[in-house]
């Protein structure tokens, strides 16, 4: 499960750059209680550090998202990120049964977030990235594909619903998912689409490597 976050880190639209071990938000949080928005930013900061293998960041992110959900139980994005963090706890757990339990809890939280807000783009992208990062025996690849296709259909229905800058990542996710499922033609189609619509992007660089 070491590769659980490799794809999550590619989701640029929901990534926040980290600035050292102590972020400005964290320093400010020492002085005053932060509103939910700032707590979310800080939680996502820690989430991405957790993706890179920082176990302490995983613990901090878990606490922050739990705090947000305590303040606002209907915060679906916090629920999705919290679910993703729980799967990282599974990655880091020592005992196999603990690994499975944490991943099961985490995926259920992400699924719950989707059920509550199916058109929420961030929630879909979090679940896609997590599904692609999990080992295939968890059976989440089909979800990565269906979530990505859902976002493309949402974009067709309402052009403003999904930012244009997310399209390269969505097509890359589809290419990755189909490549993992050994659907060669579908994988090549989506990977080439990434290069076609955003030839100079970091997503295109990844797509080119996957096409080799």
Contacts of 54 (CB under 8 A, 6+ apart): 46
**15, 51 contact by CB (below 8 A):** no
**How many Å apart are CA 141 and CA 43, to the nearest integer?**
26
pLDDT score, position 167: 98
**How many Å apart are CA 166 and CA 141, to the nearest integer?**
19
pLDDT score, position 35: 85
Residue 34 pLDDT greater than 90, yes or no? no
Higher pLDDT: 115 or 28? It is 115
> Residue 19: which pLDDT band, with cuts at 50, 70 and 90?
very low
Residue 171 pLDDT greater than 80, yes or no? yes
**How many Å apart are CA 128 and CA 160, to the nearest integer?**
20
Residue 12 pLDDT greater than 90, yes or no? no
pLDDT score, position 182: 96
DSSP letter for 9, please.
G
Q: Is the pTM of this model over 0.75?
A: yes
pLDDT score, position 202: 97
Alpha-carbon 178 to chain mean position: 18
């Amino acid at each position: 499960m070491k590769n659980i976050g490799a794809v999550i880190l590619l989701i640029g639209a929901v990534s926040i750059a980290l600035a050292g071990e102590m972020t400005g938000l964290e320093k400010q949080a020492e002085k005053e209680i932060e509103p939910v928005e700032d707590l979310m930013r800080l939680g996502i900061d820690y989430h991405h550090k957790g993706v890179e293998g920082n176990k302490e960041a995983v613990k901090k992110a878990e606490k922050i998202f739990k705090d947000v959900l305590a303040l606002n139980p209907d915060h679906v994005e916090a629920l999705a990120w919290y679910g993703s963090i729980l799967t990282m706890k599974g990655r880091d757990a020592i005992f196999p049964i603990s690994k499975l339990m944490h991943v099961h809890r985490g995926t259920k939280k992400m699924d719950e977030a989707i059920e509550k807000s199916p058109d929420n783009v961030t929630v879909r992208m979090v679940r896609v990235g997590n599904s692609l990062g999990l080992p295939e025996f968890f059976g989440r690849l089909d979800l990565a594909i269906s979530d990505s296709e859902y976002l493309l259909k949402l974009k067709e229905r309402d052009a403003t619903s999904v930012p244009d800058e997310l399209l390269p990542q969505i097509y890359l996710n589809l290419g990755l998912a189909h490549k993992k499922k050994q659907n060669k033609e579908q994988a090549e189609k989506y990977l080439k689409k990434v290069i076609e619509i955003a030839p100079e992007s970091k997503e295109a660089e990844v797509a080119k490597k996957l096409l080799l």
